[in-house]
Amino acid sequence: MLMPRKPLAELYTAIGYHKHGKTEFYRDFLRHLEVSEDQLERAQGELGMVMVVFTLPSYDVVFKLIKDRFDYPKDSSRSEVMGKYRLVFEHDRAGRLVEAHEFEHLRMPRDRFRPELLEELQHCAANLVRVEDDYVVIRHLYVERRVRPLNLYLAETNEAAARAAVIDYGQAIKDLAATNIFTGDLLPKNFGVTRHGRVVFYDYDELCWVTDCDFRELPVATSYEEEIAAEPWFSVHENDIFPEEFPRFLGFRPDLLETLIEYHGDLFKAVGWRRVQTALRAGNILNIFPNRTDKRVLTRISHPPKK
């Protein structure tokens, strides 16, 4: 078998049988509940502004509910978030967006929830969660494969693995851009690392089309007052993106940020993003490679012997 650790549900989904994949996942999950004893708990990682995320430690998925009210400064709506998930479902994921199964009216035994998790769900997503006797019924949620949040991974792994993850993080952004996807929020907490060390993206509420963005250089201040101003002294529109600012808020430690700039410095230059936009608008298909350079199979072009 080529992929012995791949769940049957994911294999169905990979060949386009999404309903079969959902059915197989649910059956497998119920079987697992019967043979396990651990409780559902909040997933590791930073608290989300839009989603409540929980997991069963012994089962390799996370469950994501859209909050009733989003934390500041998020100002999108529930329907907009659901629209982003539909976009991911229908669009080329480039191997960088985690597959999300959408479920309605999912029933789980109440005694499998940690009390503090159930309290959080009823507080943050009361419109979606209700308790019926011995069961918790969730009106709508998404199920995704569990990955290790990149920010946690970088804090706990060795230097070589952290460096490789940061390089692949930059490549993940480029791969998505090649399919016309801009992640919007580039913070490491929104990316995850798979068991094979591949970096993927899983926070979809700010996804947008690369071709809809206006990538700009930061204007140069012309006076001291402009330079020290607390607010931007130049006009900024909704779709304006300033790549030069990315390094400021990513939160990578200095050596990892230096590595990212060394390998993917063009991510921080507006001109590089505009080149991608030009290619996309021209209908060009940009190359996306599933494996790192050192893992690719090189082919030799044989020429017929000269006569």
pLDDT tens digits along 99-111: 899 999 999 999 9
Q: How far apart are CA 140 and CA 162, in angstroms?
A: 36
**What pLDDT was estimated at residue 301?**
52
Pairing of strands 61-66, 100-109: unpaired
Where does the pLDDT of residue 73 fall: very low under 50, low under 70, confident under 90, or very high at 90 and above? Answer: confident
**What pLDDT was estimated at residue 296?**
58
Average pLDDT over residues 190-214: 94
Q: Where does 36-146 sit in CATH, by number?
A: 3.30.200
Where does the pLDDT of residue 270 fall: very low under 50, low under 70, confident under 90, or very high at 90 and above? Answer: very high
**What pLDDT was estimated at residue 298?**
57
b (16+ CB within 10 A) / e for 78-91:
beebbebbeebeee
b (16+ CB within 10 A) / e for 193-207:
beeeebbbbbbbbbb
pLDDT reading at 283 higher than 80:
yes
pLDDT tens profile 242-251? 999 999 999 9
Beta-bridged to residue 180, according to DSSP, are: none
Where does the pLDDT of residue 8 fall: very low under 50, low under 70, confident under 90, or very high at 90 and above? Answer: confident
**What pLDDT was estimated at residue 222?**
67
**What pLDDT was estimated at residue 19?**
87
CATH 3.30.200 spans which residues of the chain? Answer: 36-146
Bigger pLDDT: 259 vs 13: 259
pLDDT tens profile 126-168? 999 999 999 999 999 999 999 999 999 999 999 999 999 999 9
What are the C-alpha distances in Å from 280 to residues 189, 200, 240, 266? 28, 22, 18, 17
Pairing of strands 208-209, 181-182: antiparallel
pLDDT reading at 206 higher than 80:
yes
Task: List, as one string, the DSSP characters of 82-112.
Answer: HHHHHHHHHS--TTTB--EEEEEEEEEEGGG
Average pLDDT over residues 170-194: 95
Q: How far apart are CA 256 and CA 150, in angstroms?
A: 12
Query: Based on the number of CB atoms within 10 Å of its own CB, is 114 exposed (0-12), middle (13-18) or buried (19 or more)?
Result: middle
Helical ranges in 107-158 per DSSP H = 115-124, 150-156
Average pLDDT over residues 231-235: 67
What are the C-alpha distances in Å from 182 to residues 21, 28, 246? 28, 34, 13
Percent of the chain, pLDDT > 70? 90
Residue 194, SS3? Answer: coil
pLDDT reading at 274 higher than 90:
yes
**What pLDDT was estimated at residue 92?**
84
